[in-house]
Amino acid sequence: MFVINFTFAKLSNIAMTTEELNALREENKGRDTFSHPDFYEIDDLLTEEHKMVRDSVRSYVKKELSPIIESCAQNNYFPSHIVKQLGEVGCFGPQIPSEYGGGGLDYISYGLAMQELERCDSGIRSTASVQGSLVMYPLHKFGSEEQKRKFLPKLGSGEMLGCFGLTEPDHGSNPNGMTTRYTEDGDDIILNGAKLWISNAPQADVAVVWAKNPEGIVHGVIVERGMEGFTTPETHGKWSLRASCTGELVFNNVRVPKSNILPGVSGLKGPLTCLNSARYGISWGALGAAMDCYESAKNYAAERHQFGKPIGGFQLQQKKLAEMLTEITKAQLVCWRLGHLMNNGKATPAQISLAKRNNVEIAMNIAREARQMHGGMGITGEYPMMRHMMNLESVVTYEGTHDIHLLILGMEITRENAFT
């Protein structure tokens, strides 16, 4: 637990200056003393490389992000300078081969990096997840060699920021209903439609967009900033993911070269495969948010005195902490095992859905219980729980809602399709 001093702006979307951010880093330096819970000694199951990746991202978070994150969230400000920093630390596409600008690491390393980022804030992890799992991943898996060489190194380094366009205003959980389409015109396609709730969109240099061809078959299209008719209006008034940028993708007769179509996949298999990669990262990330709330509650229970003793001496508070630790420990084991399945190419979509659904749910519950343990102070920006609670309302919704993952599991169990 660490108490942060923050600058609050009454209006939303207030730009913060470099001087303000530097002052916050100096003022809050050293206050983040986080150490992850490891009740079942799960560190013994990790390799030295895994621990090195986790510790390097944690050090970066403590130095650069934790001191500023509360003010960024309060001001609804995305600290875009961190994009290159995240690239330098290796948080963009750590599972992508190094020859294409990724980290060349395994899926457990990728998960641990997402855990550390979301321990700070879901919005920061979302920025990295979208870049690595929803932009770099499809480019590497489905892109041509020319596309890989052109985009992946710049995305991996943070020189470019990417976004992923699937969800539409009228089609969220039903991607097959998408209305974004393109027609052919010589060596180009003409793209029309819109995508909604797109992380990174307002500042993205490139978008991987899923659209239907004239025959109604879904294809991935690389749309680049500056193409005429392509705009990315920002979404305002968010109560969640306030330290990240969210927007729309609008295509008004956008002319895109056919060479920008991903050649390696057609149909919904393309975007759904990407979502599996992102959902895997979320299962680790949500665990990080849960850990942060648990640590804050544990420390507060030791420091806060009522009726002549620490509140941690009361049975009800001990019950809450014991249940938090139990759920975190189970989620750690789920993530570790799923990571091995991912490394061996054995993880199924249903297994990934179970992890995403379970870990986000326990994180939401832990955030709520931790907030209650802090009493009135729990609703302030001096502690992280309310910010995590609001962020997790987005996390439980995107990359497949909580109920959609329930139906995925139900279909796996019964072999009956309850979606329609």
Active site residues: 399
Say which amino acid occupies 273: T
* Other CB atoms within 10 Å distance of the CB of residue 149: 13
What is the rounded distance in angstroms from the CA atom of residue 148 to the CA atom of residue 133?
A: 14
Tokens standing for residue 19: 């001087």
Contacts of 308 (CB under 8 A, 6+ apart): none
Contact 91, 127 (CB under 8 A): no
CA contacts within 13 A on the Cβ side of 174? 8
User: By three-state DSSP, how is residue 253 classified?
Assistant: strand
Q: Which residues contact 419 (CB under 8 A, 6 or more apart)?
A: 407, 411
The SS3 of residue 74 is helix
Looking at residue 65, its amino acid is L
The answer to whether the CB of 387 falls within 8 A of the CB of 121 is yes
Facing residues of 220 across strands?
210
